[in-house]
Structure 1
C-alpha cells in the first residue's frame, strides 16, 4: 500500500499502466505518481541527467526559460534575492535573473549540493522542470514554503496532467526520471491548503505567492 508522496493521503487508486511502469493517483490532491517500487535508483537517475546539455549561451534555451523569468520579473522588487532550485549542470535561469539586477543562489541535489543555501530565506524561488522529478515532493514543497519570505513568489515550470486519455499518449511520462505529475487541481489543492495565491501563466508555467 502506497500513500501519496505529496499530501500523504492513503486514498490511492490505479491510474494507468504501460510496458514499463504503473501510475497511481491520489484521490485527495489528484497527484499522479509512478509506483515507488518502479523508480530509478540514484546512480541511474544521475546518469540520465548527465546527458542534459543546457548551455547558457543557447538563445533557444533562454527563450524557453523566459516563460518563467518574464512573469517573475514583473512581480518581484528590484535587487531581490532568489534561489534557483534544481538548477542542473548548466545554470542559465539564474544568469538571466542576475542580468536583470537580482542576486541568485543555486541548489541542485547532484550538481550544486551546497545545503548552506537552504539555511537562508528568499524573495523568490524558481524550479524549472524540477517538480516532476521529486521522489519526496511533500518534503521539498514544505522546504520551499519555509525558504520563501512572506509575500514571496515560487515560479514553477512543469507539464500538467489533463486526463487518462491524454496521459496514455503523453510523451512526458516516458522519461523514466519523471515520477510525479501535477494537474491544475493539484496546484489548486496546495494553494488552498497552504494559503497561497495561485496563477497559471500558461499550460506549464505556474506562479504561487506566499501570504504576507
Structure 2
C-alpha cells in the first residue's frame, strides 16, 4: 500500500510542497499512506473517508476531513473549488465531474481503483478539463516498472521504519487459514485492515 500510494502521489500526481491534495478513500491503507506522504511533502491534504475514520485521517496529518456519506463535494467546493492541484481517488467511485470542478489550473486527477463495471463508468467533462489544462491518469500497481517499484520501496522504507506509515489494523491468521483470509477479502469491508498470514 505504501508503494502504491507513493507512486500515485508523486510519480503520477506529481505532488509538491504547497499543493492542495484531495484524497478520496483516505482511511484505507493506500489512502492513509497517501495522506502521510503528501503531508510530509509539504502539501495541504483534504481527506474524504467514512465518518468513523475521520479522526484517524486528522491524526495522520490531514488538514481537513469530510464524511463521504455527506454532501462532501459541496462542502469541499466552498473552500477549494478550482484549487485542488491533485485529486487522488483510491475508492473506485471516480466522480470525474466533481474532480474536474474542484481542480485547479494544471491540476492532476489520479484514479487508483475501478473495476470497469457500469457503476464505475463516469462521464468526463472534457470542456472544463481542457480549459483548466487538467489531466486524468489511471494508475494500477501491476503496470509499475521495476525502476518505479525500486524507487517507491527505497522512499517508503525509511518512513516505515520511523512508524510514519501504519495500517489501520493488522489481523494475524495462520497460513492454514489462507482460504478463509481470501473469503474475508472478497466478502467483508476490510476498512484498512491488513491480513498477515503466519507460518505454522
TM-score for both structures, normalised by structure 1: 0.43
